[in-house]
Amino acid sequence: MLSSEIFRRAPSLAKLLAYVCEKVFAGQEADIKEYNIAVEALGRPAGFDQKRDSIVRVEAHRLRKRLKEYYESEGKDDPLRIELPVGAYVPVFVRQNGGEQQEIAQSGPESSIAGEAQPAPGEPPPGKTPQRRVRIAAVAGVAVLGLAALSLVWLARSQREAPAAVPAQQQPVDLSASATVGEIRIAAGSAAAVRDRDGQLWLSDRYFRGGRAASNPKLDPASTLTPELFRSWREGEFGYHVPLKAGTYELTLWFCEPVLRSGSDNSRTFRITLNGKVLVEEMDLITEAGGGQIVTARTWRDVQPGPDGMLHLEFGPLAGPAVLSALSIVPGTPGRLRPIRIAAREEPYTDAAGRVWLADRFFFGGKLVKRIEPIQGTEDPELYRGERYGRLTYTIPLPPDSTYTAVFHFAETWFGSRQGGGGEGSRLFDILCNGILLERNMDVYRAAGGPFRATRRTYRGLKPSPNGKLVFQLIPGRNYAFLNALEILDEGRSPSGPRAQR
CATH number attached to the domain at 340-493: 2.60.120.430
- Reported as a pLDDT band with limits 50, 70 and 90, residue 77 is confident
Contacts of 20 (CB under 8 A, 6+ apart): 32, 37, 41, 84, 89, 90, 91
DSSP assignment of 370-390 equals E--S--BSSS-GGGGSEEEEE
Would you tell me how many other CB atoms lie within 10 Å of the CB of residue 196? 21
Within 13 Å, how many C-alpha atoms sit on residue 192's CB side? 11
Q: What pLDDT sits at residue 263?
A: 53
Decide if 372 contacts 386 (C-beta within 8 A).
Answer: no
Type and span of the H or E element at 250: strand 249-256
Mean pLDDT over each residue of the chain, to the nearest integer: 83
28: phi then psi, degrees, rounded to nearest 5? -115, 40
DSSP assignment of 452-485 equals TBEEEEEEEEE---TTSEEEEEEEEEES-EEESE
DSSP conformation class of 112: B
- Reported as a pLDDT band with limits 50, 70 and 90, residue 182 is confident
Question: Exposed, middle or buried by CB within 10 Å (0-12, 13-18, 19+), for 237?
Answer: middle
Select the more confidently predicted residue: 43 or 120.
Answer: 43
- Reported as a pLDDT band with limits 50, 70 and 90, residue 30 is confident
Among 407, 332, 356, smallest CA distance to 200 is for 356
Enter the pTM of the model: 0.65
DSSP assignment of 325-339 equals -EEEEEE-BTTBPPP
Decide if 217 contacts 231 (C-beta within 8 A).
Answer: yes
The listed range with the strongest mean pLDDT (35-49, 143-157, 449-463) is 449-463
What length is written for the chain? 502
Q: 252 forms bridges with which residues in the sheet?
A: 299, 328
- Reported as a pLDDT band with limits 50, 70 and 90, residue 86 is confident
Q: What is the pLDDT of residues 441-455, one digit of tens each?
A: 999 999 999 999 999
d(CA 2, CA 13): 9
Q: What pLDDT sits at residue 97?
A: 61
Contacts of 336 (CB under 8 A, 6+ apart): 301, 402, 490, 492, 493
- Reported as a pLDDT band with limits 50, 70 and 90, residue 53 is confident
Type and span of the H or E element at 68: helix 55-71
Q: What pLDDT sits at residue 420?
A: 58
pLDDT at 129 > cutoff 90:
no
Q: What is the pLDDT of residues 313-365, one digit of tens each?
A: 999 999 999 999 999 999 999 999 999 999 999 999 999 999 999 999 999 99
Q: What is the pLDDT of residues 147-164, one digit of tens each?
A: 333 333 332 332 333 333
CATH number attached to the domain at 181-334: 2.60.120.430
Type and span of the H or E element at 209: strand 208-215
Domain positions in the chain are 1-159, 181-334, 340-493
DSSP conformation class of 138: -
- Reported as a pLDDT band with limits 50, 70 and 90, residue 235 is very high
pLDDT at 246 > cutoff 90:
yes
